[in-house]
Structure 1
Amino acid sequence: MKGLTIAEISLGDQASFQKTITETDVYLYAGITGDNNPAHINEVVAAESRFKGRIAHGMLVSGLISAVLGVQLPGPGTIYLGQELKFTAPVKFGDTIKAEVEVVEKRDEKNILKLKTTCTNQDGTVVIEGMATVMPPK
């Protein structure tokens, strides 16, 4: 399985992936990374926060962007060079997040793409926005 080459990609091309974030996802992520911040795993402490309950790790949610890039656009063989992220709203357990990417810049001579990255919840609220830089497969 091979992803799209830069020649096969056009400005404006888009792809997306959608997933419901579960309590299990958050606990697995906390265990893998060691990020046991009470905001994510302690309901009693999190209930007293500005979010009034536990929220998913921002980096867990932003990982859905990686899924789009590595599986769909450009797809398998893509090298992730960088990602700018802005976390604009919390993600609660049970939220369904749609990660979307759109090609906004092509540097054919360097084999580099820039893609606008956006994650929205089931209500259409943007929870993450940013820009990814990738090298598609040759």
Structure 2
Amino acid sequence: MIRDSIPLEEITEGMSACYSQTITDADIKSFAGLSGDHNPIHVSDTYAEDSRFGKRIAHGMISASFFSALFGTKLPGYGCVYAAQTLNFRYPVFIGDTVTATITVKSIDIDNKKITFDTTCSVGRKKVITGEAIIFIPEKKKN
């Protein structure tokens, strides 16, 4: 059995985990290919030069996907189920920006095996994405 997670009983309000990654041109092109989102604001320097941002921006969902990595590998860890997420895209992320995703336990519902998290992505001191997520903890198998 794989066990690389924190048991629900050991999770407390305020616990958090972080993940950082610098966004590259290759990340954006790979995400465009995977998602099918080839919006020129993301993939065309020429188009983006005339946009409100003056240069290409990363897909917001690239940064938001870092939350999933944290839930599935750090807090609570393997086996959890991502049930809901709100996202507020506050500022753009550019190629070369280092995004830090942070998840923080907001509340715990032991009876329903559900945890609510505050979620943020930051570039430096600027919060570029804010939101809230709900994660379900899997039932333990009975032998």
Please give the range of the TM-score, normalised by the shorter of the 2 chains: over 0.9
Aligned residues of 1:2 and 1:137 also touching (Cα < 8 A): no
Alignment-derived partner of residue 4 in structure 1: 6
Alignment-derived partner of residue 136 in structure 1: 137
Give me the whole-angstrom Cα distance separating, in 2, the residues matched to 1:90 and 1:98: 14
What are the residue-to-residue correspondences of 1:15-26 with 2, within 5 Å? 15-26=17-28
What are the residue-to-residue correspondences of 1:27-106 with 2, within 5 Å? 27-106=29-108
What are the residue-to-residue correspondences of 1:88-127 with 2, within 5 Å? 88-121=90-123, 123-127=124-128
Q: Report the TM-score, using the length of structure 1 for normalisation.
A: 0.96
Q: Give the deviation of 1:32 after TM superposition.
A: 0.7
Q: Which amino acid aligns with 2:132?
A: M
Question: How many percent of aligned residue pairs carry the same amino acid?
Answer: 37
Aligned residues of 1:4 and 1:137 also touching (Cα < 8 A): no
Give me the whole-angstrom Cα distance separating, in 1, the residues matched to 2:121 and 2:7: 25
- Ranked by relative contact order (alpha carbons within 8 Å, sequence separation 6 or more), the top structure is 1
Q: Which amino acid aligns with 2:22?
A: T
Question: What is the SS of the residue equivalent to 1:46?
Answer: helix
Larger radius of gyration: 2
Q: Give the deviation of 1:76 after TM superposition.
A: 1.0
Aligned length: 137
Q: Give the deviation of 1:80 after TM superposition.
A: 0.2
Q: What is the RMSD computed on CA atoms of the aligned residues?
A: 0.9
